[in-house]
Amino acid sequence: MSFNFNATGDFSHLVSLPTPAIPAATSSVSPSFDTHGTTVIAVKYKDGVLNVADRRATAGMAIMYDRSEKILPLDDHTLVSISGSFAKAVEIARFLRHSFKYYSRSQLQPMSLEGKLSEMTKALVQNLPMALQGVGTFVPVLSAWDVQNDEGRIYAFDPMGARFESTDFSAAGSGSAPIRGSFDYITRTKGPFAEMDLQTALRECLVLLDIAADLDAATGGYAKILPSAKAVTREGILNLDEAQLQAVLDQMRDGLAPQTVNVKAERVEADAV
């Protein structure tokens, strides 16, 4: 850096130069306009894969909505549970639903499970620039009934598109880390989720969600708003309504055995959600 000064060594002319503007102090906490879904859980059970999610969507420290739907059918044998950016997650879910349907109509056969997983990976990779900017990060858990092998499958993804198959359970969102050990405790004391019936698996998932709500401020419990629950099975997507969830919660409150209440799920079509 060079200075322009006169022959006499006088620097007085530099005093009149404009002073660089100093940015005003700003708060270290910037407002967030990206609404986020919080905790989602997926577990295998005897007849398929059960998904349970709280209903809270947050933006920073604010609760934006307490009735959000985070378990979205992609077709008759595929569910995606969403955490992270709610807007981006719903956008990608709609794209995948359209992509699966277009393939089945144009090729006259359903897309294979491997094809569905590849489509999810591509969607996450295309969203990577936004995720690296800290906006639009989307972390899904995909549950599917594998028609070829006749079994339920669970796949977790990271924001860069890497996928990981789970043998028994998976979770995502801000409340998933605090309950990681609780999954292991349940499987070691009560056996694998894959050996449980729908009602028992639902009961354990509700306990896990309640623990997550106690340990994570962004996760909504079920004291005010009941969570959502869906399952993917050989017959298709099953929806568990609020009355059925409340019956299981009443059973837990009264200390009744899991077999006391009969949980019956109603099939829903992917297009109806």
Whether 154 is in a domain gets the answer yes
Calculate the average pLDDT of the chain: 83
Query: How many CA within 13 A on the CB side of residue 108?
Result: 0
Whether 2 is in a domain gets the answer no
Higher pLDDT, 81 or 266: 81
**Considering only CA atoms, which of 49, 41, 39 is closest in space to residue 196?**
49
**Considering only CA atoms, which of 184, 213, 199, 215 is closest in space to residue 249?**
199
Instruction: Tell me the mean pLDDT in the region 85-96.
Output: 90
Token pair 């079994």 is found at 151
> Do 270 and 75 form a contact (C-beta atoms < 8 A)?
yes
- The yes-or-no verdict on residue 117 having pLDDT over 90 is yes
Higher pLDDT, 58 or 255: 58
Rounded to the nearest 10 degrees, what angle do helices 180-190 and 198-215 cross at?
A: 150
DSSP letters, the chain, are: ------TT---GGGGGSPPPPPPPP--SS------EE--EEEEEETTEEEEEE---EEETTEEEESS---EEEEETTEEEEEEEEHHHHHHHHHHHHHHHHHHHHHHSSPPPHHHHHHHHHHHHHHTHHHHHTTSS-EEEEEEEEETTTTEEEEEEE-TTS-EEEESSEEEESTTTTTTHHHHHHHHHHH--GGGS-HHHHHHHHHHHHHHHHHH-TTS--SSSS--EEEEEETTEEEEE-HHHHHHHHHHHHHT--GGGS----EEE-GGG-
**Considering only CA atoms, which of 193, 146, 182, 250 is closest in space to residue 39?**
182
**Considering only CA atoms, which of 172, 193, 198 is closest in space to residue 183?**
193
CATH number of the domain that residue 95 is part of: 3.60.20.10
Token pair 């998933």 is found at 176
Range of the domain at 127: 38-267
Burial class (CB in 10 A: 0-12, 13-18, 19+), 27: exposed
Q: How many domains does the chain have?
A: 1
Q: Give me the count of residues in the chain.
A: 273
Query: Can you give the pLDDT at residue 30?
Result: 42
CA distance 259 to 3: 86
Query: Can you give the pLDDT at residue 268?
Result: 59
**Considering only CA atoms, which of 220, 269, 198 is closest in space to residue 51?**
198
Query: Can you give the pLDDT at residue 218?
Result: 84
Query: Can you give the pLDDT at residue 138?
Result: 84
Whether 33 is in a domain gets the answer no
- Band (pLDDT 50/70/90 cuts) for residue 22 is very low
Whether 237 is in a domain gets the answer yes
Q: Which of 135-139, 241-245, 267-271 has the lowest mean pLDDT?
A: 267-271
Higher pLDDT, 3 or 39: 39
pTM of the entire structure? 0.82
> Do 120 and 104 form a contact (C-beta atoms < 8 A)?
no
Whether 6 is in a domain gets the answer no
Query: Can you give the pLDDT at residue 33?
Result: 56
Whether 9 is in a domain gets the answer no
Whether 16 is in a domain gets the answer no
Whether 31 is in a domain gets the answer no
Higher pLDDT, 22 or 65: 65
Query: Can you give the pLDDT at residue 45?
Result: 96
158-217: pLDDT as tens digits: 988 899 999 999 999 889 999 999 999 999 999 999 999 999 999 999 999 999 999 988
